[in-house]
Amino acid sequence: MTVLLFLAVVAPVSGPSASGAPVSGADFLNPETRALQDDPFANPGFLWVERGAALWTDGGCARCHALADTRPAAFPRYDETRQAMVNLEGRINRCRDRAGAPSWAYESEPLLALTAFLLNRERGATVAPAADPRAEQFRRAGEAFFQRRRGQLDLSCANCHDQLAGRRLRGERVSQGHTNGFPTYRLLWGTLASTHRMFRWCNEAVRSEPFPAGSPEYVNLEYYLRHRGSGLTVETPAVRR
């Protein structure tokens, strides 16, 4: 009994490959950070959600799109004309392009606000990317990116977020690296941040050259991570350390 109990305590939280059930980054947080995420007033991410709601109405989106028909959680998805994956940020900018408006840069306030507003409407919904055979090669490319060692530290995403998830690394418990809370409010940065900013930061942390935000490499990775996080609930805007 004692031995079993001991094993239960030291066993790392299983990676999704081991147990099949992914664990949200929220479950790796201290209680007070979790409480901040769950407080709809104090969670600073809602400053962007509110801004996004205003942009949807005043920025012209509502002229063409019925809010009830949007499926923000279905992105990234296969785009027939480009024969590649397009994520929500890319979809929004394509719309702006068609309207003759300049693109919004990654991490710009309007792009973060609009993506946060749209995904917040899905808060509580289950992450369930649709099976699409045309997207399969891109999912595989994203998975290969996830598994490939890179940088001076020679670490892959999987080395930490699959194999070491749940273990302590300095003062932090290593999360499984899911994207169900993005755009997410990062306490470290004091701002809302996109998945691609997080990818860049993570790549730099292992001393590798990050890819540009919006690059096909990152969109494919984002798409793979959607699949990898199937079954989690959308938490946008989450709060992470």
Instruction: Out of 18, 125, 130, 205, point to the residue binding other proteins (CB under 8 A).
Output: 205
160 catalytic? Reply is no
Nearer to other proteins, 85 or 116 (CB): 116
Any contact of residue 165 with other proteins (CB under 8 A)? no
Nearer to other proteins, 99 or 187 (CB): 187
Nearer to other proteins, 148 or 167 (CB): 167
Amino acid identity of 199? F
Q: How far apart are CA 140 and CA 224, in angstroms?
A: 7
Angle between helices 136-147 and 216-228 (to 10 degrees): 90
- Please name the helix (run of DSSP H) or strand (run of DSSP E) that holds residue 172, with its range, or none: strand 172-173
Q: Is 116 helix (H, G, I), strand (E, B) or coil?
A: helix
- At residue 240, φ and ψ (nearest 5 deg) are -130, 160
Any contact of residue 213 with other proteins (CB under 8 A)? no
* Residue 179, CA distances (Å) to 37, 57, 66, 223, 239 in order: 15, 27, 26, 10, 12
DSSP symbol at 168: E
Residues 111-150: x/- map of binding to other proteins (CB under 8 A)? ----------------------------------------
Pull the structure tokens for residue 201.
């930061």
Q: CB within 8 A of 217, min separation 6: which ones?
A: 141, 145, 211
Stretch that binds other proteins, among 2-10, 29-37, 78-86, 91-99 (CB under 8 A): 29-37
Nearer to other proteins, 86 or 111 (CB): 111
Any contact of residue 46 with other proteins (CB under 8 A)? yes
Instruction: Out of 50, 79, 132, 217, point to the residue binding other proteins (CB under 8 A).
Output: 50
Interface positions with other proteins (CB under 8 A): 29-33, 35-36, 41-42, 44, 46-47, 50-51, 160, 169-172, 174, 187-188, 190-191, 201-202, 204-205, 241
Give the residue numbers marked as catalytic: 202
